[in-house]
Structures are given as structure tokens and as C-alpha cells.
A = this chain, B = another copy of it.
């Protein structure tokens, strides 16, 4: 089984400011993208990194470094175009989650090898979820059976290519696969696998990378 990884660090920074993405973090001073590519490379046979259009890749050797698109899904499609025909499984990972472990990459890949079309890490929702209208709470949502999903997300390569052929946008790749009728399963996510979307998140991730012995990652 040949596994390709796509690390999505791209787009034009509309979702994620480029400076944050390339901000050095932790004792090793590696940035979010370096962390994600390193972890992906530990599990995937080949890795494609998707970058903003004003960035060149100067990190670890990768199979390809391509320029992202307007939306996150466009960026994944740009990466997917650089994935070889030999790929059996494709793992898509957001560089904004630098603390995902190699075990988590293995877990989603294994779930696809075991027969699922796709596999995503998921956690029970820790917080109460409410629906709002402006700043007014409308209702408290029943959160039984709801999970928060993360990346890395693994897919059968043919299924992922077919799902992206529709050129739709979604907040994750699993949603596109679900829309084509594919079976997506969940594996246990990781608490420390936070998504960096704000400066405060970056501070949190930096603290975790600098954390005391025994601390994630």
C-alpha cells in the first residue's frame, strides 16, 4: 500500500495569516508547516506540501511543493494533482494542526486499509454547543452523537479524487467524500491536536511545544 500525504499550508492567508503559518515555534524553532511535514513524512511514502503563492518551500525534501488556491478545497485539489498515480491512500493534513502525532496519521491510514473509504480523528465535544442569532442564544444543541473532527484525514485515493472532481468546497475533505456516498469512519482524536486559527491559539501551541516533560506532543 502506497500512502501519499498532502500538507495544506496554502491559500492566500484568507483563512490563516501566512506569518502565523511560518512563525518559528518551540525549542526547535520550526514553524507549523515544518512540524506537520515532519510528522506526515514519518508515516507517508511521499508528501506534497501546498503553499501560499508568495512562498517557496525550503524545508524537508518533499515530492512536490505546489501553490494553493482560493479555498481550502481548492488547495487540496492543487495538492491532489501532484499526487502520483501509485497512491493507494491519501492523507490530507492541515498545517494549522502542528501537534498531530505520527500515531494519529497511522490510525487513519490503518482504518482506510481496513476497508473504509475515509477515516477522520474525532473527539467528543467538550463544550456545550448552542445555536445563536447574533449575540442571542436560540437553543442548546443536543450534542449526543456529535463529534469535533480533526486532520489528518485519510482516504482511498480513487475515492478522494472522485470526491474532488466535483470541485465543491467544504470545511474538510471527509464532507466531500460523504457527499459522494463514501463511508467515513472516526478514530479517536487527540486533545492536543488543536487548530491554530488565532494568535491566542498560536500562543497555546507554542506553550505546548515548550511544555514540561511528559506533555504533549
Contacts and interface: CB of A to CB of B under 8 A. Distances in A.
B135 A150 contact: no
A200 B216 contact: yes
Given A147-B130, A148-B128, A186-B132, A211 B203 contact: yes
Given A128-B149, A185-B136, A185-B137, A207 B200 contact: no
A169 to B, nearest CB: 12
A129 interface: yes
A201 interface: yes
Given A135-B185, A136-B184, A186-B137, A146 B175 contact: no
A28 to B, nearest CB: 14
A145 interface: yes
A190 interface: yes
B175 A140 contact: yes
A120 interface: yes
Interface in A87-138: 120, 122-123, 125-133, 135-138
Interface in A125-169: 125-133, 135-141, 143, 145-150
Interface in A53-112: none
A132 B175 CA distance: 13
A39 interface: no
Contacts of A138: 145
